[in-house]
Amino acid sequence: MTAPPDVAELILLKRDGGRLDDASIEWLVGAYSRDEVPDYQMAAFLMAVYFQGLDGGELRGLTAAMVDSGERLDLSGLGRPTVDKHSTGGVGDKVSLVLAPLLAAAGAAVPQLSGRGLGHTGGTLDKLESIKGFRSDLSNDEMAEVLRSVGCVICAAGAGLAPADRRLYRLRDVTATVESIPLIASSIMSKKIAEGTESLVLDVKVGSGAFMQHEDDARRLAETMVAIGAEHGVRTTALLTRMDTPLGRAVGNAVEVEESLATLGGEGPADLVAVTLALAKEMAALAGLEADLPALLRNGAARSRFDEMVRAQGGDPAAALPQAPLRRELPAPASGFVRRLDARAVGVAAWRLGAGRAKKEDPVSASAGVVCLAKPGEPVEEGQPVLEVRAEDEARFARALEALEGALEVGPEPPELPEVVIEAIRS
């Protein structure tokens, strides 16, 4: 029997810019999952990767090892092409709530395994759980049944999918190694590959409210994930989309569900509709589907699928959404045009109002949030309400309003507004 590698030697090799073979990576991930490698050694390895990076072969091996650490779902018996979407996270990003039922109405099966919000970016599950009775924790059998009957499901990833990634992410979070493109890419893609989808479209956000604030970094991340998908047999495309301004007008949980429902009724904000349809077009193409996607929003077909999904997951789509009892308005400082509305500042404000959490175990408020009454390019009069902040607790307002200081800029001329979709990256 071959002796296992020496962990210190693997750390040293990567620290000095060497290359790890597949067997060493597979052993390291497996041994860490079995508690045979302590946190302090794996933390040192992650820091070495942070500084030295991983080449294509190492990245493929790391992703495969994380996929192999748990179960892999089999979605082959659904009778529909499977396609999913993943966003790197942003402020006001409620795209999944519209996109999943839209693609289901077009004939796809969409297994949206989503997460919860942390910090200034919201979580899809937190938003949906503001609907009375909605269940996001489904078993694999329940998830498959909703997919078969409705065509889309939005739920939490089971503990059995890429469990090594879950452990590694927790360690990265406390060792300053989160911001590593190879580690981000392998983390995201291991879960999506284990999910069993045939095709995947990535929404890589760029800007002040995004994890990636520079286009070059976002493009590198997108290219890395597209390459991983191709190597693992998942047809993958990425779109770079702007996140300097909140997407849509609502930032929070119930307020974003309300805006999603308006969009599913054909009356959504232009930027949200543009991103949703751009992603939907890519998803439909990868799935081999032809459909009039804007018509499916206008004619109620996508809304019907959303309602079916909510009912199938225990929710009541007709129930009133929670409303915050306390509201404050921020006035425009001058007359003119809104030139800038900083996404990160609005996201932090919503978080401080109670819509987000500082730690994963923190509760969130369903009704708290921010509504953007005016956005860049729109005219305002001095004193006109531009932002409405909502909370359940009066004590929340002071720090939220502090976060919004300097977030809004009004000038005499309207700004040039670039397209919200920057580019597509395909394999």
Q: What share of the chain is helix, strand, coil (3-state, %, to 5)?
A: 45, 15, 40
Between β-strands 83-87 and 379-380, what pairing exists: parallel, antiparallel or unpaired? unpaired
* Rounded Cα gap, residues 184 and 318, in angstroms: 38
Rg (CA), the chain: 22
* Rounded Cα gap, residues 343 and 349, in angstroms: 10
* Rounded Cα gap, residues 385 and 310, in angstroms: 34
Catalytic residue status for 68: no
Q: Say which of 126, 165, 203, 271 is annotated catalytic.
A: 165
Side-by-side strand order, sheet with 336-341: 379-380, 336-341, 408-411
Between β-strands 83-87 and 199-206, what pairing exists: parallel, antiparallel or unpaired? parallel
* Rounded Cα gap, residues 80 and 82, in angstroms: 6
Give the DSSP H/E element, type plus range, for residue 387: strand 385-391
Q: Say which of 14, 120, 127, 172 is annotated catalytic.
A: 172
Exposed e or buried b per residue across 22-32, where buried means at least 16 C-beta atoms within 10 angstroms of its C-beta: eebbbbbbbbb
Catalytic residue status for 149: no
Q: Say which of 80, 85, 86, 344 is annotated catalytic.
A: 86
Could you tell me where the beta strands, DSSP code E, fall in 69-192? Answer: 83-87, 110-114, 152-156
Q: Which is it for the CA torsion 331, 337, 340, 343, positive or negative? A: positive
Residue 92 φ/ψ region, left for φ over 0, alpha for ψ in the -120 to 50 degree band, beta for the rest: left
- Intra-chain end-to-end CA distance of the chain, in Å: 40
Helices 22-33, 163-173: inter-axial angle, 10-degree rounding: 80
Please return the burial class of 107, using the count of CB atoms within 10 Å of its CB with bins 0-12, 13-18 and 19+. middle
Instruction: Take residue 155 and report the two structure tokens written for it.
Output: 């739920």
Q: Say which of 187, 190, 365, 367 is annotated catalytic.
A: 187
Could you tell me where the beta strands, DSSP code E, fall in 213-261? Answer: 235-242, 250-252
| Cβ-contact 370, 349 below 8 angstroms | yes
Closest by CA position to 228, among listed 54, 13, 422: 54
Catalytic residue status for 187: yes
Q: Say which of 191, 219, 249, 352 is annotated catalytic.
A: 191
* Rounded Cα gap, residues 296 and 276, in angstroms: 12
Instruction: State the catalytic residues.
Output: 86, 165, 172, 187, 191
